[in-house]
Amino acid sequence: MPEPTNELPITDSILEDVTPCLNELALVLADPYGKPDMDTFADAVKRATGAEAVSVFTPAGDNPHILVPAGAVGYSRPYREHTYLLSQPALTTHVYRSRQSINMSRKELERTDSKVPYSGACDYYIESGRFYNLIATPILYGYSPTSAKCLGVLKLENQGQDPERPFRPESFALARILAEVIAIALEQRRVAGLWNQAEKAWLHRSHRNLASYRETVAELARKLLDAERVALYRATVRGDGSAVLRYDVGFRKERAHLDYELAANPLQNRSILPQTARQVIDRDWDAAGVARLAADPFIRECLEELGGALPRSLLIFSVRNDKELLGALAVVNKAGEKTTFDVLDRQGCRAFTQRHIVPYLVSSGKPAESAEPSGFDKLVEKFGSYQPLKSIQLFRRIQEIEEFRQAQHITAHECAAYFGLKRENYLNKVRKTRHMFGAA
């Protein structure tokens, strides 16, 4: 019996078989907003390979730890409603987690030394009630094995009726090609949806207050890159005239008082955040690279944000409008324990930054080269750095700041940043202050 091969034997017959499958996939994904129903695609794969049953499993939309059928033909009804917990020992979840394709006969799966978990339930789910062989291949999207993410599993069952023979190599190759095409199609569909949300947010933004827009775009950037955190830092000028990067949005814990000095010479900057911003590049680090930078101020900031854990992966962008430095974007922890950021992430993030983050920074404040101090800096100059105050003292300070900000044309967002609050929380305190002491 010939051993299954990892090589992809691309032949004319495979190219002929793949075309109708791709046509059906295009029809399935034609509606960009509808839930993909891959039954017709699975049926096309079934016809092209002669398999008895074909299924596609993808993570549930509301729970990424569960695999649900996106399409299934050749199975009994219970299997079309079957779900897998990623933590359970099953063949489908094994392929999803290991990211390794398999082409095995029943006899190979039943061997006691097989490393692939096999429960024998295939007999129950296949319509004929008999199981002979199987292909299962992960649906992977990414530029390299270390950065690819798994979007699901494509399974083909029963080619022929010999329990000692796997699928033909040509069918194995076809399945793996189709899995890669499915991955590209699903990812493009996901990315297009996020970009569409960002476009709508920009069109409906408030010209007087961009706080809601900035939070929306930061969250969309995080989703776009499958990241745990995304933080935007704005280039600005302090009251003493020094250029700094100041935290703007993204982290869950407020970082309103932490500035990174922006020395003109990139090598004179004492942290990787301003170094990268000044070098007009994007840089990324894996877990080992981050560990070597553990003493860096920005890594320590990430350490606090992540509850004491060093980042597993890190990507930093210099955000610019032509040659003018506007800020820096930090992307922390690619989803998945073993994944890192790759060239697809960098290109996608760069395009998103230019389209959505640069206009926000241009619209909402002056860049670092401006000599005009920000409202935040005016507050620090007038009242000093904020220190926690008792309740009555806090409301007295808010009353003073409200009087000052009206005279200096300082925004509520800048006042909120001074106190380390979100704008909505600050405005609630302002209303309470007016109730206590009268209108400012």
- Measured CA to CA, the distance from residue 56 to residue 96 in angstroms comes to 12
At 109 the pLDDT is 93
Cβ-proximal residues to 185 (8 Å cutoff; 6+ apart), any chain? 25, 29
Phi, psi of 317 (to 5 degrees): -115, 145
At 95 the pLDDT is 95
pLDDT of 367 higher than 80 = no
At 219 the pLDDT is 92
At 220 the pLDDT is 93
Amino acid residing at 291? A
Average pLDDT over residues 264-293: 83
- Please tell me which residue, 143 or 407, carries the higher pLDDT value: 407
Q: Distance from first CA to last CA of the chain, Å, rounded?
A: 87
Identify each DSSP E strand in 121-258 by its residue range: 133-141, 149-157, 227-237, 243-249
Does the reported pTM lie above 0.75? no
Average pLDDT over residues 232-256: 82
Cβ-proximal residues to 365 (8 Å cutoff; 6+ apart), any chain? 234, 236, 374
Cβ-proximal residues to 307 (8 Å cutoff; 6+ apart), any chain? none
Least confident of 20-24, 233-237, 395-399: 20-24
pLDDT of 160 higher than 90 = yes
Confidence of residue 414 (pLDDT cuts 50, 70, 90): confident
> 247: which 2 tokens?
């935290």
At 29 the pLDDT is 66
From the options 3.30.450.40, 1.10.1520.10, 3.40.50.300, 3.40.720.10, give the CATH code of 205-364: 3.30.450.40
Confidence of residue 422 (pLDDT cuts 50, 70, 90): confident
pLDDT of 312 higher than 80 = yes
pLDDT of 341 higher than 70 = yes
Average pLDDT over residues 410-420: 79
Spatial contact of 164 and 110, defined as CB atoms under 8 Å apart: no
Residues making up the chain, counted from first to last: 440
- Measured CA to CA, the distance from residue 56 to residue 153 in angstroms comes to 6
360: three-class secondary structure by DSSP: helix
In angstroms and rounded to an integer, the radius of gyration of the C-alpha atoms of the chain is 27
Amino acid residing at 258? L
At 79 the pLDDT is 86
At 299 the pLDDT is 92
At 3 the pLDDT is 44
> 419: which 2 tokens?
């106190």
Domains 12-186 and 205-364 share a fold: yes
**Sequence ranges of the domains in the chain:** 12-186, 205-364, 375-437
Query: Measured between alpha carbons, how far is residue 192 from residues 33, 189, 198, 358 in Å?
Result: 10, 5, 10, 19
At 371 the pLDDT is 39
DSSP code of residue 208: S
At 283 the pLDDT is 85
Phi, psi of 423 (to 5 degrees): -60, -40
Homologous superfamily, domain 12-186: GAF domain (3.30.450.40)
Specify which of 30-39, 216-225, 253-262, 415-424 reaches the highest per-range mean pLDDT: 216-225
Query: Measured between alpha carbons, how far is residue 26 from residues 167, 186, 290, 412 in Å?
Result: 26, 11, 41, 48
Number of C-beta neighbours around residue 409 at 10 A: 8
Confidence of residue 14 (pLDDT cuts 50, 70, 90): low
Number of C-beta neighbours around residue 29 at 10 A: 17
Average model confidence (pLDDT) across the chain: 83
Least confident of 42-46, 185-189, 220-224, 375-379: 375-379
pLDDT tens across 114-129, in order? 889 998 888 889 999 9
Cα angle: 150, vertex 7, 22; to 5 degrees: 55
Percentage of the chain surpassing pLDDT 70?
85
Average pLDDT over residues 286-305: 89
Confidence of residue 102 (pLDDT cuts 50, 70, 90): very high
Q: Of the candidates 81, 366, 423, 64, which has an alpha carbon nearest to the alpha carbon of residue 238? A: 366
- Give rounded-to-5 percent helix, strand, coil for the chain: 45, 20, 35
Cα angle: 68, vertex 74, 76; to 5 degrees: 70
- Measured CA to CA, the distance from residue 374 to residue 364 in angstroms comes to 11
> 111: which 2 tokens?
């061997």
Q: Of the candidates 104, 108, 103, 106, which has an alpha carbon nearest to the alpha carbon of residue 172? A: 103
